[in-house]
Structure 1
Amino acid sequence: MDAGRAADLPAPGPARGGLTADAVPAADDIFVVVNPASGKGRGARLALPVVRALAEATGGARVGHALSAHAGDEVALAQQALAQGYRRLVAVGGDGTWSNVGNAILRSGVDAALGLVAGGTGCDLAKSLDVPAQDVAAAARVVAAGHTRTIDVGTVEGRYFLNIVGFGFDIAVIEDTWKVNYLRGAPLYLYCAVRQLYRFPGFPVEMAVDGRPGAREEMLMLVIANARVFGGGFKVAPRADLGDGQLDLVAFANMPRRRRFPLMVSLLRGTHERAAEVRTARAETFHLRFSGPPTYERDGEWSRAGSSELEIGTRRAALRVLVPAPAVEMAPASAPAPAPA
């Protein structure tokens, strides 16, 4: 698979792509980690176009790539690329794939940057960073330009998250998406969200914010957000800041089913915080206690907790992400001097 100086790398094990140990990458070389299963196969279809677009946008940088074979392989592939010397890693997939490659960078301690290309279902982190991840050519130009933004990340059960951690209705929607094979992206999430509005019963949880204990409450959904958007476009934490060193908690109290649909509409618009059933908090650490080990989502990936208690924290300014350079405002032209009388 050649495109400019794109490198087709043979598989060293179970993954479909891997690294050879020949040349040490130059500073501008790029490694692409592709989740071929993301977006119901869209990731696989994007592999060659992404490699070609990056080779063209960089004007000749070496572009290595590998395709994962199983869920989570992206971490090992990214770690191999970092060990060989690559310092720009592009993840092709959804929020889960981006998170896996981000976790590899964070665990390595290497100063490397993460690039985002959308090949998955949600792809929400890019919305908070204004990365044109859905447009392969535009995303490649962002990577080639090399401008980065350093963002905070969250922590849960020894792993990092870049976007959000969610409990309750949120995870019920994700589980429902597994049963639908005729939609993808935002329409898939919206369809399953509407179905679960009338099915999900709610759950009890006790929340402590920065060590301050709280009462046990019945919830519909609980989201702890590092970024603003989740679920394919829902503006769950419209005031979240990826660089403030804090996480935003958005708690939705359980409510009658007739109230749920209007709340979902307001969630799409980002106006849900006005509702009486919605409570928000901002902190560095949240401690949650459930009636048993909960299921939850971390950047769109399903997990079952190892305990009924979870601590969710923040790591400030932890990860560099390749983003569009800020627009440069042109200074207004000075008015011509008046002609002498």
Structure 2
Amino acid sequence: MAREIALLTNPTSGKGRGTRTAAIALPRLREAGFHVRNLAGRDADETLELAQGCVADGVESLVVVGGDGMVHLAVQALAGTETALGIIPSGTGNDVARYLDLPRSDPQAAADVVVGSRTRRIDLGRAGGQYFVTVLAAGFDSKVNERANAMSWPRGQMRYNLATLAELRVFDPLPYTLELDGEVRQVEAMLVAVGNGESFGGGLRITHGASLDDGWLDVVVIKTMSKLGLVRTYPQLFTGKHTRHPQYEHHRVRSVTVAAPGIVAYADGERIGALPLTVDVAPLALKVLVP
């Protein structure tokens, strides 16, 4: 009897690249002997319903074609279940695919990872009733995310770079109240990031060193600095060298509550909700397919 998996595509991912990518991956999966449900939602609500239906029906794996936003949606259905998440990357940032060392520009090679059926379990973050895989951004970074999501051009990392420069002109430091595993701390900062993984925005390693399966959240505070200092520090986010900056602060916690005025938090590039928010770790809550 053929093993059943689902291929769930975001048809708008990468301005239609999702559909083209699925068309490459699907034959490879069927050739390998899988019975594949080939699905695509018209919007986020329908896509989530399709994902939940697949999990309820007991498919072996839910394979998503898209970027971190599509992964985020699928995780809401998969967290705490035995259905594994597979990823055929076709998004803009693809940070989750980067974490898992998945091929990000070769759909057939990504499909081969699904065929291999090797799994591991990873932690998830949880905030505002939603699970996330990457980083919860709450400050300058979430403002950049909000601006980048509203831009139709350019694609890829350059969109985040331009959004960063635009936001930098108008951003002022924020007064934060943090409750770190019960310990309250007040600090003025440019941003607070809560990482389950170590990067967002296409490789910006804001919570550099965060592990996906250690049962901890990594909280990074970038305290007040000049706008010129922030510009000079920004390129270091791609290498993790920002951890040497004197305004960098790092905590490892099981739970953190973040409060600051006028900030909407994002995670996996998706809107989570206005602060204050409590973020918890859900240890080993997600099964994923890996090389």
Structures share fold, TM-score greater than 0.5: yes
Tell me, in whole angstroms, the C-alpha distance in 2 between the residues paired with 1:295 and 1:174: 10
Secondary structure of the corresponding residue to residue 40 of structure 1: coil
Gaps of 5+ in 2: none
Higher strand share: 2
Tell me, in whole angstroms, the C-alpha distance in 2 between the residues paired with 1:160 and 1:303: 9
Match of 2:267 in 1: 298
TM-score, length of structure 1 as denominator length = 0.81
Secondary structure of the corresponding residue to residue 188 of structure 1: helix
Structure 2: which amino acid aligns with 1:275? H
TM-score, length of structure 2 as denominator length = 0.94
Whether 1:317 aligns to 2:284 is yes
Match of 1:178 in 2: 149
Gaps of 5+ in 1: 1-25, 325-341
Q: Deviations over 1:292-337 (max 9, x none)?
A: 5x311121112333xx43110001111110001xxxxxxxxxxxxx
Does the 8 Å CA contact 2:130/2:272 hold for their aligned counterparts? no
Structure 1: which amino acid aligns with 2:265? Y
Q: Which has the higher contact order (CA 8 A, sep 6+)?
A: 2
**Among 209, 212, 237, the residue aligned to 1:267:** 237
1:1-341 matches, within 5 Å, as 28-56=3-31, 58=32, 60-106=33-79, 109-215=80-186, 217-291=187-261, 294-305=263-274, 308-324=275-291
Following superposition, the deviation at residue 27 of structure 1 comes to: 6.6
Secondary structure of the corresponding residue to residue 288 of structure 2: strand
Structure 2: which amino acid aligns with 1:290? A
1:112–1:243 distance in 2 versus 1, CA, 3 Å? same
Secondary structure of the corresponding residue to residue 39 of structure 1: coil
Match of 1:21 in 2: none
Structure 2: which amino acid aligns with 1:39? G
Tell me, in whole angstroms, the C-alpha distance in 2 between the residues paired with 1:291 and 1:218: 12
Following superposition, the deviation at residue 206 of structure 1 comes to: 0.6
Tell me, in whole angstroms, the C-alpha distance in 1 between the residues paired with 2:132 and 2:176: 21
Q: Deviations over 1:167-210 (max 9, x none)?
A: 11112222222343232122222232233233322322111111
Tell me, in whole angstroms, the C-alpha distance in 1 between the residues paired with 2:51 and 2:150: 30
Structure 1: which amino acid aligns with 2:22? A
Does the 8 Å CA contact 2:29/2:115 hold for their aligned counterparts? yes
Does the 8 Å CA contact 1:127/1:229 hold for their aligned counterparts? no
Tell me the C-alpha RMSD between the 2 structures: 1.7
Alignment: residue pair count: 291
Query: Higher mean Cα deviation, 183-192 or 206-215?
Result: 183-192
Structure 2: which amino acid aligns with 1:141? D
